[in-house]
Amino acid sequence: SAVISQKPSRDICQRGTSLTIQCQVDSQVTMMFWYRQQPGQSLTLIATANQGSEATYESGFVIDKFPISRPNLTFSTLTVSNMSPEDSSIYLCSVSTLGAQETQYFGPGTRLLVL
Amino acid sequence: TQLLEQSPQFLSIQEGENLTVYCNSSSVFSSLQWYRQEPGEGPVLLVTVVTGGEVKKLKRLTFQFGDARKDSSLHITAAQTGDTGLYLCAGGAYNTDKLIFGTGTRLQVFP
């Protein structure tokens, strides 16, 4: 399985500001995904990060609020823009590999608190 | 919209007891994964099942994928305090690489 790291691990931000979260994988992967997990809840998919092209967003999530980059096969960023307290959540990246697309491996998550 | 309902939502038991967590849907999935998530960490994959009716055992954990590929169960024998965590099932959607996550079951095992 891939080893995935995320930066920052946690942050406290003021409303109206933006935060960029990084996801780094130790090997090339096929797919990268970004999820949100609100306190005590399950995971909700925000978008699929596509290498070299625009991310594919799920219903309820838009590029202006959650711009995503994926410049290569091992790295992606998620920005939470113009934050409000409702954005307080855990943000997780996950990856899957060619030949095992049904299985995803997760990073440790970024815990965001917006005041 | 594909939904995966897990039951029970919360489970609090003593060490040594057995338990079963259920994951149900009206949709058919290509695969089914189970994850465990501990506080402050990301979900960790426990198992992937891909064949209807498949049963997999991982030490004290037994996973079953329903014949119709719409449901799954996780049975833990002789629970230990280290089993405490949030258990999540996730279904693989056909023709996509996306996973649909269940509602989650929070397990607390007391010594």
Measured in degrees and rounded to the nearest 5, phi and psi for residue A3 equal -100, 125
Has residue B1 got a pLDDT over 70? no
B48 touches chain A (CB under 8 A): yes
> Which residues of B are less than 8 Å from A96 in CB distance?
97
Cα–Cα distance, A57 to B45 (Å, whole number): 24
Supply the DSSP symbol for A50: P
Residue B56 Cα to chain centre, angstroms? 12
Is residue A4 within 8 A of residue A105, CB to CB? The reply is yes
Residue whose structure tokens are 């501990």: B38
Tens place of pLDDT per residue across chain A (115 aa): 789 999 999 999 999 999 999 999 999 988 999 999 998 889 999 999 988 889 999 999 999 999 999 999 999 999 999 999 999 999 999 999 877 767 899 999 999 999 9
CB contact under 8 A, A104 and B31: no
Cα–Cα distance, B78 to B96 (Å, whole number): 37
Measured in degrees and rounded to the nearest 5, phi and psi for residue A109 equal 95, 155
- What is the pLDDT at residue B34? 97
Cα–Cα distance, A71 to A24 (Å, whole number): 11
Q: Show which residues on chain A lie within 8 Å of chain B, measured between beta carbons.
A: 1, 4, 30-31, 33, 40-45, 48, 92, 94, 96, 101-109, 111
CB contact under 8 A, A92 and B43: yes
Class of residue A58 by CB neighbours under 10 A (exposed 0-12, middle 13-18, buried 19+): middle
Measured in degrees and rounded to the nearest 5, phi and psi for residue B76 equal -115, 125
Instruction: Break chain A down into helix, strand, coil percent, rounded to 5.
Output: 5, 55, 45
CB contact under 8 A, A42 and B102: yes
